[in-house]
Amino acid sequence: MLPIPAVQLLYPVPNASGVSTNPGVLIYASSQTIPVTLRGGGLNVGTSATSVPHPLPQPIAPLLPGQRRFAVAHSVLATQTTYAVVVTLPEVESCGNGGTTRMVETTIAQFKTH
């Protein structure tokens, strides 16, 4: 099996509490853009790709070497809810001369709204 791309949540900082429920952005680090979903309170909150804001919101986690910043926009979030940040990544299984690719959902972090 080949490694999947590394993905890191930068904003909000992983395990943050008191995150705003207003529509906003989520910033992550990766080598490529990837699908991101927020799951909390029994609901999925879809996201859509957007530009990384400038200046960057604070506090923000540091960027790892070799990664780039990407952002996704999200709608209003529920109050007092813990959200999991779920990404969908390709996983390649190699066997002999060929391989198969399947998409795998992975939780990379969580945060709680105020």
Beta bridge partners of 64: none
- Strand 82-95's sheet: what is its strand order? 43-45, 36-40, 82-95, 98-112
Could you tell me the pLDDT band of residue 47, with boundaries at 50, 70 and 90? very high
| More confident: 55 or 93 | 55
pLDDT score for 4: 54
CA-CA distance, 90 to 88, in Å (whole number)? 7
Whole-model pTM: value is 0.87
Residue 1 pLDDT = 44
The residue written with tokens 């299984």 in the block is 93
What secondary structure letter does DSSP report for 66?
T
Q: What is the per-residue pLDDT for 65?
A: 86
What whole-number distance in Å separates Cα of residue 17 and Cα of residue 55? 22
Judge whether 4 and 89 are in contact, CB under 8 Å: yes
**59-86 pLDDT per residue, tens:** 999 998 889 999 999 999 999 999 999 9
Mean pLDDT of 12-31: 96
Give the pLDDT of residue 97: 64
Q: Please give the average per-residue pLDDT across 34-57, as a whole number.
A: 95
Domain residue ranges in the chain: 8-109
Distance CA 89, CA 95 (A): 19
In total, the chain counts a number of residues equal to 114
